[in-house]
Amino acid sequence: MSTEWEQDRGVQGPRWPLFAATTALLLVSFDARGWIYPEHRDIAGRAVSELPAPSRALLDRFWTDGRTGHEARLCADPWAGDQGTKPACLDFASWPAIGGDHSCSPDDLLAVVLDAPWILGVARIGAEVKVALATATSEDQARNRLVRADLDLQRTDLEYASRAGGGTDHFLLPRTGDDLAAYLRQCTASGVRPNAIGLWARAQLAAEAAAGDLAAGRVPDGERPAAARRALALEAFALHFLEDAFASGHVAGAWGDVATRKGTHDFYNVRGLDTSTWARDPVVLHGDAAMRPAERDRAARTVRESLERFLRAADPSRLPSASSPAPRAETLSCCGTARSLPPLELLPADEEDILRILRDAPIPTRGADDVALPRFRAEIGPFLGLAGGFRGAFAKDTTLEGSNAGWHGVGSLDIGLRAGLGLDALIGRAGDGQIFVGAGVTYQAARKSICEECKAGGLDIGALLPSIPARTGLTFRLRVPFWLIPGDLLLAAPILAFASPSTLEKMAIVAVNGGLIPWQTGLASPVGRVQFVLGREVGVTFFGYAGGEDLYIVPLSDEVGGYTLFPVSVRSIDVEVPILEIRPFRDFGHRQTTALFLQLGVGGDFPTSVRVWLDNGWQDEKGTPAWYGYLKISFDWRSYL
């Protein structure tokens, strides 16, 4: 998490040609969401339970009409309360949780609620994570449980991570002044970028228009259940974005590029935000997976007022009044990129009522051209870096067939440059989206020769003759997440980037979050972040390829029990494969990251050329690999562009 203020104004970093197709898809798709599913449902549930009796009766009647033909799928009551960890039906309070995060529009919301086979799985995951977070006994345990829920949601709803391609839909638009009426007009002006208040106001008016048609009898009796369901879907979709307006990360993280919005969102969601409402009441806000009861109740009061306005439009006993024209259905979508919203012209009476509803909503932060809160950046985008480390290996020397071999320790140092893309924590705290290539130099210490026959007269001549001398090699390193098998994303990207970008996007999302079988998910622990990384990273060092082959003396056993010394010339390729990675330390500030890693792994030194000096000439001999296990301590520094 960032530890310094973001000083720039959301400058977009350049895109590198390497992995550009995959990265472009991911960067436009990953933006921070609002409350998690159970928080959205709890806010709506509290709002429904606090409705005045006449309004609650209207909602119950509306819900009963809408359930017609779908009684098994839709709960008997709009607010079913605690359903345990295996909900068997969906209540109205769950619809705002589905709108926006698990559907793109009101019509899509309705289709998901009624027909999607996976949506009850989403409800189950939401119920389970609510219990899991409430019973967590440590921050690490809570984080790991939330990580599991994120991954379960992605496996259940395959569009979950890629659905929010609009970028700013769930965020509040930065304010330019302190007047609520002016801010509302700013959010609903022509060509404005998608924002939470603008989407709420548009969907709210559309829901009221649909409810008014039902109340006025303009819908045939046979079509009333479907019309009631659509009106409820419009209102639930609106409430999703109104609820988002109370999440601290969406109040503060409103502007900048993807990395800045994501980093700012995550920081304030966890640390909280001390601000005030439009009514000038001081409030402390938190965000996703960190909602307090007081924050739930505060958001629920505003949601209840919005719901009451919708129900007034559905009341047949009320005389219809002039209202602002309902927005077109195609403008009520939170998916897709490069969108702007059409203007929303509000009648004075509607504007006055909407301003009344918003008076207890948090005041959004100011934007880039004004005095703004500190900004934070996530580790997303291209970077250049410097990395170095010490590797201690337990190795067996079998470089030259027939030579004496044994197990012993050997150390090496390496340092090099890296260039790549950071895609960490895109849908949760488990993400490991590092993609990089690196090049550098490795220095390896000499290995003592093990030669029992070389001990004569109390002098161990073999100790003076290293089995492998100190040597220097050129090292190259590659790290790429994979979907199912190592390297599959590299092979798929050139093809799917053109043939099926959505498929590539889904594969990349799964890859950076632990793979299809998520055993490579990063988990928090008392010693730091722990992750299995087998297949994600490989280091290759070429010894004897720069500056000539490595030369040394090898004692070989002879037929009479002695030994003979032979000059040997060797080239080899050392392959290093990490298996387990522990990150006890990481600090990220502004655009720079420093981290300390411990890696456990295995490797092999594979001779590609072995020659022995015999009879005044070099003769090729057969070499065999030298296997080893290792512990490596690495320092990693990166600067994001």
At residue 567, the pLDDT reads 85
Calpha distance 391→574 (Å, rounded): 13
Whether residue 404 is found in the same domain as residue 270: no
Residue with tokens 């070389």: 454
Residue 82's CB: how many other CB atoms inside 10 A? 10
Which H/E stretch holds residue 572?
Answer: strand 563-589
Residue 69's CB: how many other CB atoms inside 10 A? 12
Q: Which residues contact 246 (CB under 8 A, 6 or more apart)?
A: 43, 285, 295, 298, 299, 302, 361, 362
Distances (CA, A) of 53 to 50, 372, 609: 9, 43, 87
Calpha distance 517→373 (Å, rounded): 40
Residue 372 belongs to some domain of the structure: no
Number of H helices, E strands in the chain: 16, 15
Whether residue 170 is found in the same domain as residue 232: yes
At residue 4, the pLDDT reads 27
Whether residue 177 is found in the same domain as residue 296: yes
At residue 452, the pLDDT reads 56
As a three-state string, the secondary structure of 431-447 is: CCCCEEEEEEEEEECCE
Whether residue 92 is found in the same domain as residue 56: yes
Residue 19 belongs to some domain of the structure: no
At residue 462, the pLDDT reads 56
Burial of 220 (0-12, 13-18, 19+ CB in 10 A): exposed
Q: In sequence order, what DSSP letters do the residues of 506-564 get, joined into one string?
A: HHHHHHHTT-SS-TT--B--TTSEEEE-TTTEEEEEEESSSSS-EEEEEEEE-TTS-EE
Q: Which residues contact 135 (CB under 8 A, 6 or more apart)?
A: none
Whether residue 412 is found in the same domain as residue 354: no
Calpha distance 166→338 (Å, rounded): 7
Which of 358, 373, 408 is where one domain is finished? 358
Whether residue 396 is found in the same domain as residue 339: no
At residue 558, the pLDDT reads 62
Residue 370 belongs to some domain of the structure: no
Which of 343, 358, 373 is where one domain is finished? 358
Q: Which residues of the chain have pLDDT under 50?
A: 1-31, 401-402, 404, 427-428, 430
Whether residue 214 is found in the same domain as residue 328: yes
Residue 15 belongs to some domain of the structure: no
Return the amino acid letter for 212: G
Whether residue 577 is found in the same domain as residue 627: yes
Whether residue 293 is found in the same domain as residue 437: no
**Dihedral of the CA atoms 114, 117, 122, 128 (nearest 10)?**
110
Calpha distance 120→112 (Å, rounded): 10
Given a contact cutoff of 8 angstroms between Cβ atoms, the answer to whether 316 and 65 are in contact is no
Calpha distance 626→607 (Å, rounded): 9
Residue 602 belongs to some domain of the structure: yes
Residue 2 belongs to some domain of the structure: no
Return the amino acid letter for 386: L
Q: In sequence order, what DSSP letters do the residues of 325-377 get, joined into one string?
A: PPPPGGG----SSS--BPP-PPPHHHHHHHHHHHTTSBPPPB-TTS----B--
Given a contact cutoff of 8 angstroms between Cβ atoms, the answer to whether 327 and 344 are in contact is yes
What the block records as the tokens of 571 is 């080239």
Residue 596 belongs to some domain of the structure: yes
Whether residue 66 is found in the same domain as residue 183: yes
What the block records as the tokens of 101 is 């995060």
For residue 395, give the 3-state DSSP assignment. Answer: strand
Half-sphere exposure of 91 (CA within 13 A, CB side): 21
Residue with tokens 């480390």: 389
Number of structural domains the chain divides into: 2
Whether residue 444 is found in the same domain as residue 333: no
**127-159: pLDDT as tens digits:** 999 999 999 988 888 888 888 888 888 888 888
Return the amino acid letter for 559: E
Residues linked to residue 381 through DSSP beta bridges, in sequence order:
422
Q: Which residues contact 354 (CB under 8 A, 6 or more apart)?
A: 184, 201, 204, 346
CB burial of 13-47 (b: ≥16 within 10 Å; e: otherwise) equals bebbeebebbbebbbbbbbbbbbbbbbbbbbbbbb
Which H/E stretch holds residue 284?
Answer: strand 282-285
Whether residue 548 is found in the same domain as residue 615: yes
Half-sphere exposure of 252 (CA within 13 A, CB side): 29
pTM: 0.80
Q: Which domain holds residue 405?
A: 383-489+526-640
Residue 497 belongs to some domain of the structure: no
At residue 427, the pLDDT reads 45
Calpha distance 337→225 (Å, rounded): 34
Q: Which residues contact 194 (CB under 8 A, 6 or more apart)?
A: 166, 167, 168, 169, 334, 339, 340, 341
Given a contact cutoff of 8 angstroms between Cβ atoms, the answer to whether 95 and 63 are in contact is no
**536-582: pLDDT as tens digits:** 999 999 999 988 888 887 766 666 556 677 788 889 999 999 999 99
